[in-house]
Structures are given as structure tokens and as C-alpha cells.
């Protein structure tokens, strides 16, 4: 099996390798590709690797990009399937302390034995997903060719189907998270280096213009807490449900609201309930219009009783 690595690192942003194709893939071929985490940082070089330590943004490592890959025999209009077989994530990533009540500091997220560590002693299983899966567009901006979709559905056991717009498709992947809540509430999940095992092939296609994700495995527990929010728009409903979940986690896990917020903002799934809002008003303003939201946190979240030790 071929493996495309993020090393050796490039010399800088002007290195011509940034603009080169990473390789030619054959339809039906299984390969491993390495991606780099948010900000392309060397976490292992950090002096402070405690869970929740504030992360300074250092100069980029200039990792080799995960694409574009030319897929042999693919022409414009053909559909491509990208089957995600397996994913391995690195030892450290980062997330943000954000939300309705806090700022946006970047914090260190250690990963050990399949668990993401939060302060002071919280752990939750990894749930790796890929934020960016795209083929190259004929336009300067993306037109139905994927991109920074940030769907948790794009995980091991899923196949992404995308229609090519250029010969070879020119596939690129990136923006992997060790875990991310549906909706990516703080603008990040646990951004992290990864190794993706994938199979690229022709797809029979769909009567759609945008990508289609096909899930073939369930990879997570369905036991969870869910809080509720209602508001005039989606953001207001999210704010209510988020605040309610902060209170629930603080109470059920005997922790502070500050620690609870780190967890909720990073791993909670924001799910729509009543989503029509003004849609059924035919565009007319209505002070009584609303949408509802549920915030979900897995019951796999637990406390170890011992803070993480690097």
C-alpha cells in the first residue's frame, strides 16, 4: 500500500512543491495519506503539554499538503467515490475555548489510548472525521465539488461521492478533527495530525449536484444527554441550548461551568428540531417565528479522577 507523508517538510510558502500534484491514483486503489492539524504546528515541541494549556501559534512546519491527487481515467462529469476505511490521529491537537460567554483561546488537547483529554480530568473517546474533502472546481470558488464541509458523517465507515469538474478530479483532503461536535460550535474541533486510509474509485453517481455521503457503519455510542433551546433564529436557539448543557455538565459531573464549556464547545452536537422558522411564513416577517435546537453530549464522557500527565 502506498503512503503519502507530510514530511519531508517544505522550505516555505514559495516552495514549488506546494503547487504540484501529490501523485496519480488508480481507480480501486487503497492508499494512506497523512494530513496536518490546524495551524500545522509541532505540538510535541511544546514545553507545556497539559490538557487545556494555552497554545501559542508558532511558525508553520510547512507540511506537504494532502493533495491534489490525480485519479487516472476520471473526466469532467464523472463521479468519484472516496471510501474512508480507517483514520489514526496524532498525540496532540488543539481546540478553542469559545461560546456565548467566553473568548477564543487556543488550548492543547492531548490524545492517548483513544481518548481526548480535557482539564481537569475529563476524557471522551476520539471520533475522527475529515473536514475537507474536495475535487478541484472550474471556478475560483468551490461549485458543488466539496470543500470545507465539516460533516461528522465523513468518518471511517463512510464513502463520499463527488462529481468531477476537471480531468483527474484532483482530490484534496484535510482539516481532520480527533473529535468535533456537529455544527463545529467554536469554529474548531480538536484540530490534529492524522493518517487516513482510503480507497478512491469511480462512483455510479447520484441525481445531485453537491456531494453525497454514504454511511455504512455506526462508530459511536447513542447514549447521550440532550438539552433544548428555542430562539428567533438558529444562533439564539444554539446559545440557549449551549448554556443549558454547560449547567447540566457542571452539575452531573461536579465541575465548574468554565470546564464544562470547554467540553460542550468542542464535542457537543448541535441538532435542529423545528427548523422552518420563517419558511412557512412565505418570507413575511413574524415576531412569533422561531426555531429549536438540541445540544447533545455523549454519556461516554467521564472523569478519571487523575489529571492528564504528559
pLDDT of residue 140: 80
pLDDT of residue 58: 84
pLDDT of residue 277: 80
Helix ranges (H only) for 194-305 are 234-252, 257-267
For residue 229, the cross-strand partners are: 293
**Region label for 140, one of left (φ > 0), alpha (ψ between -120 and 50) or beta (otherwise):** alpha
Q: What does the alpha-carbon distance between residue 97 and residue 258 come to, in Å, rounded to a whole number?
A: 9
Place of cell 511558525: 59
pLDDT of residue 39: 83
pLDDT of residue 219: 62
CA dist 6 → 32, 45, 74, 182 (Å):
11, 17, 25, 27
For residue 34, the cross-strand partners are: 195
For residue 96, the cross-strand partners are: 106
CA-closest candidate to residue 74, choices 146, 167, 1: 167
pTM for the full predicted model: 0.90
* pLDDT tens-digit profile, the chain (310 residues): 999 999 999 999 899 998 899 999 999 999 999 999 988 988 888 888 999 999 888 889 999 999 999 999 999 999 999 999 999 999 999 999 988 766 678 999 999 999 999 999 999 999 999 999 999 999 987 779 999 999 999 999 999 999 999 999 999 999 999 999 999 999 899 999 999 999 999 999 998 889 999 987 766 667 889 999 989 899 999 999 999 999 999 999 999 999 999 999 999 999 999 888 877 666 667 777 888 999 999 999 999 999 999 9
End-to-end CA distance of the chain: 33
CB 172 within 8 A of CB 21: no
For 33-51, letters b (16+ CB in 10 Å) and e give bbbbbbbbbbbeebeebbb
Amino acid at each position: 500500500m502506498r503512503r503519502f507523508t507530510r514530511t519531508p517538510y517544505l522550505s516555505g510558502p514559495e516552495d514549488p512543491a506546494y503547487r504540484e500534484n501529490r501523485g496519480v491514483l488508480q481507480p480501486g486503489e487503497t492508499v494512506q495519506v497523512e494530513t496536518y492539524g490546524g495551524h500545522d504546528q509541532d505540538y510535541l515541541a511544546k514545553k507545556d503539554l497539559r490538557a487545556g494549556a494555552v497554545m501559542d501559534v508558532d511558525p508553520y512546519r510547512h507540511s506537504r499538503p494532502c493533495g491534489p491527487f490525480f485519479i487516472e481515467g476520471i473526466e469532467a462529469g464523472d463521479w468519484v467515490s472516496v471510501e474512508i476505511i480507517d483514520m489514526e490521529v496524532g498525540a496532540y491537537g488543539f481546540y478553542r475555548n469559545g461560546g456565548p460567554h467566553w473568548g477564543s483561546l487556543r488550548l492543547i488537547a492531548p490524545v492517548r489510548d483513544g481518548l481526548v483529554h480535557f482539564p481537569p480530568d475529563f476524557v471522551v473517546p476520539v471520533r475522527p472525521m475529515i473536514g475537507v474533502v474536495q475535487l478541484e472546481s472550474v471556478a475560483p470558488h468551490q461549485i458543488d465539488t466539496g470543500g470545507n464541509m465539516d460533516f461528522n458523517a465523513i468518518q471511517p465507515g463512510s464513502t463520499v461521492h463527488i462529481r468531477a469538474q476537471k480531468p483527474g478530479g484532483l482530490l484534496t483532503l484535510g482539516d481532520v478533527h480527533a473529535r468535533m461536535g456537529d455544527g463545529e460550535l467554536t469554529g474548531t474541533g480538536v484540530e490534529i495530525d492524522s493518517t487516513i486510509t482510503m480507497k478512491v474509485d469511480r462512483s455510479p453517481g447520484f441525481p445531485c449536484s453537491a456531494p453525497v455521503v454514504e454511511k455504512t457503519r455506526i462508530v459511536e455510542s447513542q447514549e447521550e444527554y440532550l438539552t433544548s433551546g428555542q430562539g428567533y433564529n438558529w444562533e439564539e436557539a444554539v446559545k440557549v441550548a449551549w448554556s443549558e448543557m454547560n449547567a447540566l455538565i457542571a452539575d452531573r459531573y461536579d465541575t465548574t461551568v468554565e470546564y464544562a464549556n470547554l467540553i460542550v464547545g468542542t464535542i457537543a452536537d448541535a441538532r435542529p428540531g423545528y427548523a422552518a422558522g420563517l419558511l412557512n411564513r412565505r418570507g413575511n416577517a413574524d415576531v412569533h417565528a422561531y426555531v429549536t435546537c438540541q445540544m447533545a453530549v455523549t454519556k461516554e464522557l467521564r472523569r478519571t479522577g487523575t489529571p492528564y500527565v504528559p
